[in-house]
Amino acid sequence: MTENESAIWSAVQKGEFRAVARAISYIENGVRDFHSFLKKAPASSATIIGITGPPGAGKSTLVDALIGELVARGHRIAVLCIDPSSSFHSGALLGDRIRMSDWYDHPNVYIRSLSSRGSMGGLHPGILEISDLLKAAGFAYILVETVGVGQSEVEIAALADTTLLVLVPEAGDEIQMMKAGVMEIASIFVVNKADRPGADIFIRNLRRSIGPGLPYAPQAPVIKTNALLKEGIPGLVEAIEMDRGRRQEPAALYRLLAERAWYQLRKERMKGINKQELADKIGRAYSNGEDFNLYRFVENYQANYSPSRSSTSDNR
């Protein structure tokens, strides 16, 4: 623990945006992880709301509308927008904030874009620590918008207290909806752009699809919104508050905390492993004329791998 880290953490707890931004950058880039501080952080009543769904469903517009409603109710809001990173150069556009330009200078709204860093679950690898840091900074609600990658985008369930699955009337028929893995993680279904033709039929089919096979059914409500016109947003906030009450029940709370523990344990086990190092080792094996076998390689790598010798490099 350095003096600089202590000063940053103290400023974070006071809710200073500059300190929050610096601390997130340290976590994001693996410079410091702030675990020593997070282990001492007091319990927080902040609510993490995950917003997921296919591209084009209007997630960013919905987040913008939710910010307006929550700020009007007197809350401090933090928003994390996860953008997909390139598989080739690892860069990301980080452009979701363009749709939330009304809130750049608002004293009760902090918005940060993050790259997914190659994560397959639609989140940033350090999302858990960053969210807990924002809790310590005194935000009442933390909105996390995932990248919108479709059926593999399920890790938000390990983080969020409430997960909104945003769909549009053109999302598809019952079979297609049930095939999507994200259907199983939704605690609230949001049918956005509900003024479009076929919306009522889609909603009826969606409600029929919500059955005992889904973990949160039959509690999961279906909320109609038109985020662009701010229609249905107050009702959505009320549904979020009702879901928050259900999540405080012991069984639901323990399951959520177990998901977060699993997420963190898996990340810690993978710390220090990156694809380039694996590629270099495989290249040396081929250069030495070895008969390469994937399973032998993985077994030998695990036997010789020591996390203590590796830094908190990214997992790209």
Q: Token pair of 273, please? A: 């492993």
SS (H, E, C) 58-85: CHHHHHHHHHHHHHHCCCCEEEEEEECC
* Token pair 């840091």: residue: 133
Return the closest-CA partner of residue 81 out of 57, 60, 66: 60
The residue among 172 and 144 whose pLDDT is bigger is: 144
135-159: average pLDDT:
78
Alpha helices, H only, 87-179: 127-136, 174-179
Tell me the pLDDT tens digit for each residue of 43-92.
888 999 999 888 888 998 999 999 999 999 999 999 998 876 544 444 43
76 contacts 138 by C-beta, under 8 angstroms: yes
**pLDDT recorded at residue 130:** 93
Q: What is the CB neighbour count within 10 angstroms for residue 129?
A: 21
Amino acid letter, residue 170? E
Tell me the pLDDT tens digit for each residue of 257-305.
888 888 888 878 877 787 788 999 899 888 888 888 888 898 888 888 7
**pLDDT recorded at residue 143:** 96
Supply the DSSP string of 221-285, one letter for each residue. Answer: -EEE-BGGGTBTHHHHHHHHHHHHHHHTSHHHHHHHHHHHHHHHHHHHHHTT--HHHHHHHHHHH
85 contacts 91 by C-beta, under 8 angstroms: yes
Return the closest-CA partner of residue 177 out of 156, 157, 204: 204
Pairwise CA distance, residues 201 & 220, whole Å: 18
Q: What is the CB neighbour count within 10 angstroms for residue 66?
A: 24
Which of the four pLDDT bands, split at 50, 70 and 90, describes residue 139?
very high
**pLDDT recorded at residue 211:** 61
Which residues have C-beta within 8 Å of that of residue 62, sequence separation ≥ 6? 51, 164, 166, 190, 192, 225, 227
- Pick the range with the lowest mean pLDDT from 92-101, 201-210, 216-225, 284-293: 92-101
Pairwise CA distance, residues 142 & 152, whole Å: 22
